[in-house]
Amino acid sequence: MSEEKTSSKAEELNKRGLIFVQTEQSEEALKYFNRAIEADRNFMDAYYNKAVVHLALDQVDDAIKAIDSILIKNGNDGEAYFEKGNILFYYKNDIKTAVELYNKAMYLGVKNERSYYSMALCMEASSENEEAIKWLDRAIILDNKNVQVISKKAEILAYMLKYNEAINCYDSILKIQVDNEEAYHFKTVLLAQIGKTAEAFESIQAAESILGKRGILEYDKCLLYEKEKKQDEALTSLNEAISLSGKNTMFLSKKASILILMGKIDEAKKVYDESIEIEPDNMEVYFSKANLLMLNKEYEEASKIYNIIIEKSDNKDPYRINSYYYKALCFENMHQEEKAIDGYKEAIENYNLLILNYPYDLQLHVLKANSLRDTRKYEEAEELYEYVIDLNKNMPEVYLMRAKNRIGLGKENEAKNDVNTAIKIAPEFERIVRLDEDLNKFL
């Protein structure tokens, strides 16, 4: 068979494979891509298409083999290096090798928005945010109307606390897509973050003039009103958001928190129950309701919910991890001393096991320290609090926890110093201290 006929046959078989891709018949698609390769070993499109189907089937190693087949035949195929880099980054989380492959691809001429964007994502994943911005800027030079790239730049800038620069990015997006709801939303959030509340409201008004009423924009209004301590207006906007978007746990959780601020505890409980009906496996909602019950001194009901969390969630779930301690605290508040001691012992045992696997998780150490403190093992608790503070000296809540432990040790001066340190780090913690009968004497 002539070379021209061979190529024609391979192309025909490849097209048949693509038809099966369109109908999501992956195995049939692979059969025809393989036949195309048998007809012409140098027909590269079939290898690429084969890799795509393998990825769709979660057969990552087979996809890599398909790309490697291209590189064996042509070691200077920059596109193949780029695609292999994508597979290693997105499917294997092998950032180091992906970067090497992207560099090779660019060296061989693959210098486009896709390669620059992928390199930026690798830099972001490596916490090299300044480098990520540089790669995104290269992509923007090639196409200054690429909303995906500009959005990613804004996201990274916001993470770097460069809020004004991030806002400028969202303004750029809105010049390209005047109806981009997401850009309005994030711009509003950032304006609120830097205290420009009036401008944030203006951003929402501008969005509504184009998009009309939207649930997420009403939610943004709620957050702005809440920031201004206008709970009634916040609740009105939130109810509007719920009517526009339907009930979801994010909106309902915010509604519950506003109702709590307004002192409407029973209504807040009902809202949490609505959330649990919508997402019966959402441990955050259970935990929030349990905490509300504790604040309302309904310790028995709270302990039942902490039990539900422990039973329904896996060992790594942060809400389960917190629930061990709070369940024991419920028993202590109910003056059920034996159950409380057993609860604290269970908590300490679980935290010991978890700390072996997650030695740098400060929350685990804090919870273990609290459990030790509440079983009057003050010296052991003191050592743990010191360790946590040595690792991070900017956690005001830990200083207050240690202050309570130091009261148990009879170290009143040291406890007072901890209270002062906590308030110095976060002045708003003075309100918490005033409400604590053990600590307010140090003010």
Q: How many angstroms from the chain centroid is the CA of residue 350?
A: 25
Measured between alpha carbons, how far is 27 from 38 in angstroms, rounded to an integer? 17
Q: Are 342 and 312 in contact (CB under 8 A)?
A: no
Long-range contacts of 108-111 (CB under 8 A, 24+ apart): 108/76, 108/77, 108/78, 108/81, 109/78, 110/78, 110/79, 110/81, 110/82
Percent of the chain at pLDDT above 90? 79
In a domain, 248, yes or no: no
Q: Are 114 and 136 in contact (CB under 8 A)?
A: no
Range of the domain at 17: 1-73
In a domain, 68, yes or no: yes
pLDDT tens digits, 380-419: 999 999 999 999 999 999 999 999 999 999 999 999 999 9
Q: Give the model's pLDDT for residue 2.
A: 44
Measured between alpha carbons, how far is 368 from 351 in angstroms, rounded to an integer? 6
In a domain, 214, yes or no: no
Measured between alpha carbons, how far is 105 from 315 in angstroms, rounded to an integer? 43
The C-alpha torsion from 344 through 347 and 348 to 354, rounded to 10°, is -170
For residue 442, give every residue at least 6 positions away whose Cβ sits within 8 Å of its Cβ, in sequence order, or none. Answer: 403, 415, 416, 419, 420, 433
Q: What is the DSSP string of 208-259?
A: HHHH-S-HHHHHHHHHHHHHTT-HHHHHHHHHHHHHHH---HHHHHHHHHHH
Q: Say what the pTM is.
A: 0.77
Band of residue 7 on the pLDDT scale cut at 50, 70, 90: low
Token reading at 438: 């053990």
Higher pLDDT, 131 or 20: 131
Q: Give the model's pLDDT for residue 32.
A: 85
| CA R_g for the chain | 29
In a domain, 267, yes or no: no
Band of residue 1 on the pLDDT scale cut at 50, 70, 90: very low
In a domain, 33, yes or no: yes
Q: What is the DSSP string of 78-118?
A: HHHHHHHHHHHHHTT--HHHHHHHHHHHHHTT--SHHHHHH
Region 124-146: what's the mean pLDDT?
A: 96
Residue-averaged pLDDT of the chain: 93
Measured between alpha carbons, how far is 265 from 19 in angstroms, rounded to an integer? 59
Measured between alpha carbons, how far is 212 from 188 in angstroms, rounded to an integer? 16
Checking if the pLDDT of 336 tops 80, the result is yes
Q: Give the model's pLDDT for residue 6.
A: 53
Checking if the pLDDT of 369 tops 60, the result is yes
Q: How many CB atoms are closer than 10 A to CB 75?
A: 11
As for how many domains the chain has, the answer is: 1
In a domain, 397, yes or no: no
Checking if the pLDDT of 92 tops 90, the result is yes
In a domain, 27, yes or no: yes
Q: Give the model's pLDDT for residue 247.
A: 82
Region 297-306: what's the mean pLDDT?
A: 95
The runs of H, that is alpha helices, within 335-428 are: 337-357, 362-374, 378-391, 396-408, 412-425
Of 21-25, 106-110, 371-375, which range is least confident? 21-25
Q: Are 157 and 165 in contact (CB under 8 A)?
A: yes
16: domain CATH number is 1.25.40.10
pLDDT tens digits, 160-176: 999 999 999 999 999 99
pLDDT tens digits, 350-368: 899 888 888 888 889 999 9
Percent of the chain at pLDDT above 70? 98
In a domain, 303, yes or no: no
Higher pLDDT, 23 or 197: 197
pLDDT tens digits, 9-31: 888 888 888 888 888 898 898 89
Q: Which of 246, 248, 226 is nearest to 236 (CA)?
A: 226
Token reading at 259: 């109702």
